[in-house]
Structure 1
């Protein structure tokens, strides 16, 4: 399957399916009831939407890259992996955003129609900007929403769920960049270039989730 063909299959997948896909990656997924899972997903999406609107209003710009340049200290590296994991960007509080030029260039070189380097940079920086907001605002849903891991004599040991943060970051970048497809399309295209198994397992999971949702 060519990158353009893969992109074409990924574009129609709805946000709800991408949210389920992200939650399925979380190590705490089995600790969460279906009802609580639905609440966390909805809360994450709403959080991402709210912060995208807020940052645009506060900073007077709608371009994610320009916004990142205004709010963060951006550095670049030619490395394409850390401990055998491929990254497009990393964020370190309070405002350090590192872009990994090699995989970004590799994605741009796929020459998928409409998927330019500028689009890729906006998607990448949009995602990391949400994590900037997480460090700035203590009352975000992604930091306050928790699940019970265990309880003893009335004590409840709770934890945040990482997937909620990733769902919010996806929704944030989606709204900020006014995309017609999920920002996670970038991740699947990246798998097609770097993973030994390619993008097929991820695509199969997304297709299965789509079938389950429409059943």
Structure 2
């Protein structure tokens, strides 16, 4: 009887493991949303008021393990990642009397900052990255394009604040250095998701988006921003492909349950906004 129960339990474990890879339809909400080009300033304005919790849904939407979580699990993990990012930023702020300049902080932490034009090999646009153990790279093509556009668009400056683009990018990457140095205890590195279990055998994985959620909240707290730095994703993509930025915006609105400007503005208002930006 005990042997039969053991076989039944193992069969159930296997069934649950396979379900993670065969459940149909769970990815539909992450499909890109397509449409016509939208004006940049209204897109950014509509996203600016989104909470870090809302943006966390966007982060999970880009994670390779996104189909493995219930909404309740995503919310719980998001809150823990946000708290982690805030805590690490406040430690540094307390140590520096409430004011930190990320590029100077990076040097103090023993990190080097390199500023090449573009990533080697081209391809996907990358804005900045952290490489273990002590290098931050900021790709200046994005920074230069962003600064040039902001120089001619005071309306965008008002939306994105007056913090240096480079400082925001460096602040986010500093978090990845901080979490590496505390990888055994910090939430973003120590949390493991059990993908499947078959008897005594189990497969666990870290969840990459938790570090990104925490890193954005770290940068927001460190620089006292009144918006989540995920907002820069749409802005940066628009520098290279306005249509792709519009499609990304639609996907974000859908993932984060945020009203799109296509719902809140009339077709005439959208046309006039586009014409004003193209003038």
Output the TM-score relative to the length of structure 1.
Answer: 0.89
**Which of residues 203, 210, 217 is equivalent to 1:164?**
210
- Alpha-carbon contact 1:90-1:97 (below 8 Å) kept: yes
Give the stretch that moved more between structures: 19-28 or 203-212: 203-212
| Aligned counterpart in structure 2 of residue 39 of structure 1, from 68, 73, 76 | 76
CA contact (8 A) 2:115 2:137 kept: yes
Instruction: Supply the distance in 2 between the matched residues of 1:30 and 1:52 (Cα, whole angstroms).
Output: 30
Return the offset for 1:116: 7.2
Report the equivalent of 1:10. Answer: 47
Report the counterpart of residue 19 of structure 1 in structure 2.
Answer: 56
Q: Do the aligned partners of 2:55 and 2:256 also contact (CA within 8 Å) in 1?
A: no
Q: Provide structure 2 residue ranges, at least 5 long, that are not aligned to the other structure.
A: 1-37, 151-155, 260-279
Contact 1:44 1:164 in 2 (8 A): yes
- The SS at the match of 1:182 is coil
Within 2, Cα distance between the matches of 1:143 and 1:159? 10
Report the RMSD for the aligned CA atoms in angstroms. 2.2
- TM-score after normalising by structure 2: 0.70
When residues 3 and 166 of structure 1 are mapped into structure 2, their CA distance, relative to the original with a 3 A threshold, is same
Q: What secondary structure is seen at the aligned counterpart in 1 of 2:49?
A: coil
Which has the larger displacement, 119-128 or 72-81?
72-81
2:100 to 62, 68, 74: 62
What is the alpha-carbon distance in structure 2 between the residues aligned to residue 93 and residue 190 of structure 1?
Answer: 25
Q: Separation in 2 of the partners of 1:37 and 1:28?
A: 11
Which residue of 157, 165, 169 maps to 1:113? 157
Following superposition, the deviation at residue 104 of structure 1 comes to 0.6
Deviation at 1:160, TM superposition (A): 0.8
Q: Contact 1:80–1:103 at 8 Å: present in 2 too?
A: no
How far has the Cα of 1:81 moved from its partner? 6.4
